[in-house]
Amino acid sequence: MHCASCAVNIEKELADVPGVLSAKVNAVTETALIESEQPLAIETLQEATSRAGDYVIASSGGSAADHSGQMSDRAHQGGDGEHDHAPAAGSSAYRKTLVAVVGALFVLAVLIVFQFWVDVPYEGWIALLLATPVQFVVGATFYKGMWGPLKRGRANMDTLIALGSTTAYAYSFVSLLIHSEPELFLDASVAIVSLVALGRLLESRAKGRASAALQELSRLQPQVAHLVLEGGDMRDVSVSELKVGDRVRVKASEQVPVDGVVVEGSSSVDESLITGESFPVQKEIGASVIGGTLNQRGTFVLRAEGLGLDSVLSQMTRMVEEAQMSKAPIQKLADTISAVFVPALLLIAIGTFFVWWLGGFADVSGAVLVLVSVLVVACPCALGLATPTAVITGVGNAARRGILVRDAETLQHARNTSVMVFDKTGTITQGSPTVTQVLGDATQTLSVAAALESASEHPLASAVLNYAQEQGVTTSTVEAFEAVTGQGVQGVVNGEAAAIGSLRFMKERSVAVPEEIEKQAQVLEAAAQTVVFVSRGEALLGALAITDPVKDTSAEAVQVLKRMGIRSSLLTGDAEATARAVASEVGIETYTADMRPEEKLTAISRLQQEGEVVAMVGDGVNDAPALAQANVGIAMGAGTDIAREVAGMTLIQGDLLKATEAIQISRVTMRLIKQNLGWAFVYNLVLIPVAAFGLLHPAYAAGAMALSSISVVLNSLRVRR
């Protein structure tokens, strides 16, 4: 696939397949993402792509239900049946293209020698004989690419190349038949075919580099695992044979085969290719490990948990792939222009021919030369590649750094972020809280609190349960459990209504809070500790002080944002004193405390109404509405599933500095997209008139067209720096 018009034609054919809800085609990755009401046969998709041109479905990811319950089929398109659109040196596609280009350039050299230095009998016919294989063997790909759309009344880049080179060849042939001193444009026809073929080869290599991140992710998955059998023996098995709960040994210097939890031994693991963290991470018993990461000197045994499509690596690959397939809003302009560009240029080229010929500015041969130049130089390749190559490289670069981008629209919006809003627990803080003090009746308070928190998934729940266990407190069973998002939880413990949560939550339940405990809580909150209150019936049993240390990089991230011209704000359900203390520690100027989820959403909406572009960073269920409302939702990798689901970006490692990197990658990507589009528009605006005025030979037009596409792709690769 070589241009945006190719992608548009394939999209139209796939969209016409019965049952297809939508189809997105990316000319750079040569893939199609199809949403359908039911599974689709590959043969049905192949028939549709064949109507669009010489496109073969080389492989398919199969069918998988997506999050909306629809079906998602991935069909990877590849000319000549190649799975990889960037042929590797030594591959059959590479050799075929290289031989064709070298042969075409040889013929071009011979034609030039015949024309300027050697005078032999029948040199014109000899030249035609040499040019014919180039035109119809090397150029066969252009005819195949033109024929499918042409039958459907459509045109693409291959149409322009095929018509331009064939016009030069056909005119030369007719001139040989009817003139004793023929005018030959065979050098032009051979130059067009060879230079465009060479340009496509170089372009495909560069496009392969643009999508290298996805290839790197797919290569991370090991194929063999050391399965630990009953009795301690080991047997090497395929990773696909593993089941959840299997014990797997990971030796020194080996890749971790699957996601799991360490159950024996310890080691340090290099997670840089997954999380972007450059330093090895120490793994002890109970620590989670990710499949595809590199174990270092130690050895350990893990219990397999994340297998197949449920693994972190598979989810990353799928998310990166879908993000690279998506289209940024800025691409709509390029797609709209590309859809009408080729038919319009055909009319312009034909009109130019008649103006030159009938207007008396040139004879037929001169008019033909201008016609060919306009056809060749007008190919909209650079325009079609301008946005997707930069998006693919930007998304891939983000993935390398441990930042998963959901779609190109998120990447575009992130560039304009003016305010970044943070949640506190698990976002600015480490999300590993511990109980430091109990106010009131310690035994009863801990007993009721642990009973309630045993059914909760909130980060504070584990702190309460761990502390109760350390203190040897007996935990009761909770009934009628209910979580009030952002406030607390309630239920029935030992036949009595009970609750644990914020001071606001207690007062809404008409629980009387003793003044002494409230004052003690205020002192603790001023020291950046979170205080939760525990009640039974309408009586307060006591309160728990919980500390959650601020992450080492949080303050640095806030300072980086300031240098980038982005304001920071803290929205938290914690008390005002705690919010103030944490905001002061990391350098955030504005904060709002004691907020419910709907109030966070309202606060973000208010900022947007004031003209701000808001990025929201959070990790919990209570952050989900705000993440969805924000222009850019950024979820922490260790956060809840719903937070990651609604967010436009996910920070795998949960480091706030990665949020600043995401904004920087967005800014660089959008700057390069604008440069690419600017270059593509200037190229066509300048060279089409130059060709129309007869100032550009077809050979130079072909070279300029190929160079424009290559330059756009190479410019996009700068995102990786």
SS3 426: coil
Angle of the 186-210 helix axis to the 157-178 helix axis, nearest 10:
160
CA distance 424 to 570: 7
Query: In this structure, what token pair is assigned to residue 356?
Result: 């030159």
Say if residues 263 and 283 touch (Cβ distance below 8 Å).
no
CA 232 to chain centre: 42
Helix (H) or strand (E) run with residue 183 in it: none
Residue 330 neighbours by CB under 8 Å, 6+ apart: 387, 412, 670, 673, 674, 677
* Radius of gyration of the chain measured on its C-alpha atoms: 32
**Among positive and negative, which fits the CA dihedral 610, 612, 618, 623?**
positive
CA 446 to chain centre: 46
DSSP 532-555: EEEEETTEEEEEEEEE-PBPTTHH
Mode of pairing for the β-strands spanning 247-250 and 299-304: antiparallel
CA distance 501 to 488: 4
CA distance 556 to 586: 8
CA 581 to chain centre: 37
How many CA atoms lie within 13 Å of 85's alpha carbon, on the beta-carbon side? Answer: 24
Which residues belong to the active site? 423
Residue 709 neighbours by CB under 8 Å, 6+ apart: 199, 203, 381, 382, 385
Task: Tally the residues of the chain.
Answer: 721
